[in-house]
Amino acid sequence: MTFKNNKTKIVPLIGLSTVILFWLVDAVLDIYIFKENDSFVVSLFYPAPMELWMRLVASALIIFISLYAARLINQQHIAGTHLIAQRKKLQILADALEKEMQERRKVEQRLKKKIAHDELTSLLNRGKFDEILEDKITSERRQQAGLTLLFCDIDSFKMINDTHGHDIGDRILQLFAQRLRTIIRDTDVVARWGGEEFIILLFDTHADVAEEMANKIRSEIEQYAFPPVGKVTVSIGVAHYQDKDDRHSILKRADKALYSAKEKGRNRMEVADR
């Protein structure tokens, strides 16, 4: 910026220097080439009228060109400075916009998580689980890789609430959800269905393996001490995917199997009719 600004001062000086040099060269040419004068001083300061007129016109033209060039350079410098300032403003606006977009993305992610997860247990909620189940059933119809639902219900949960209070009941639900997450595989999907009911989706899993998982969940829940309640048990209804099953039918069969486990004494697993 400083160099460009100095050019506006240097260019007129160059023009003036060019005029002086032009007069000196022309005077030398008059003496040694054209032999019009014998004295350098006379040739320089007292040329013939036509020669003087030519020098003045040429000098004026050189000065005009140098001043015009200086003006153009100055305008270019001003335009460049303005452009740099505009670029800085645009960069500031772009940075602010990017920051706002990042904040919006964070808010959207938090909202999506809140919409898809149960507030108390942080597991998936019923609505999100329904979406996943619908998608997995569609895949299962094509691949036949094995899909099973485990419908879990904490036994005598009403008694826990009545005896220890709803705060302790909520804590038991949270601990129960944590235990489920540690027992099941990373590929399995677990959600809170509602109240003390939880549901687990096992896919790409053979029926025998799924039933072993259900028994493992029942056994490990029974062995775990839930403070301050102590022993808590769970009943599980198991429903394997069958041809022409949809979301409603497989859920209905899992729920029926769960009801059967409750009827047969709780703390057990029952498999729906195949």
Answer yes or no: is pLDDT of 148 > 90: yes
pLDDT digits (tens, 9 = 90+) for 195-219: 999 999 999 999 999 999 999 999 9
Least confident of 95-109, 116-130, 218-232: 95-109
∠ at Cα 20 (15, 21), nearest 5°? 95
Structural tokens at position 112:
């999506």
Check residues 247 and 43 and name the one with the higher pLDDT: 247
Please report which confidence band the pLDDT of residue 41 belongs to, taking 50, 70 and 90 as the band edges.
Answer: low
Please report which confidence band the pLDDT of residue 20 belongs to, taking 50, 70 and 90 as the band edges.
Answer: confident
Mean pLDDT in residue range 86-95: 85
Please report which confidence band the pLDDT of residue 93 belongs to, taking 50, 70 and 90 as the band edges.
Answer: confident
Query: Does this model's pTM top 0.75?
Result: no
Catalytic residues: 196
Answer yes or no: is pLDDT of 4 > 60: no
DSSP state string for 79-125: HHHHHHHHHHHHHHHHHHHHHHHHHHHHHHHHHHHHHHB-TTT-SB-
Check residues 133 and 65 and name the one with the higher pLDDT: 133
pLDDT of 33: 62
The highest-confidence range among 24-28, 56-60, 84-88, 267-271, by mean pLDDT, is 267-271
| C-alpha span between 89 and 76 (Å, rounded) | 20
Is the Cβ–Cβ distance between 238 and 270 less than 8 Å?
yes
Answer yes or no: is pLDDT of 3 > 50: no
pLDDT of 155: 97
pLDDT digits (tens, 9 = 90+) for 174-201: 999 999 999 999 999 999 999 999 999 9
As a whole number, the mean pLDDT across the chain is 86
Percent of the chain with pLDDT over 70: 85
Structural tokens at position 111:
């909202």
pLDDT digits (tens, 9 = 90+) for 227-264: 999 999 999 999 999 988 999 999 999 999 999 999 99
pLDDT of 65: 82
CB neighbour list of residue 264: distance below 8 Å, 6 or more residues apart: 270
| C-alpha span between 35 and 110 (Å, rounded) | 95
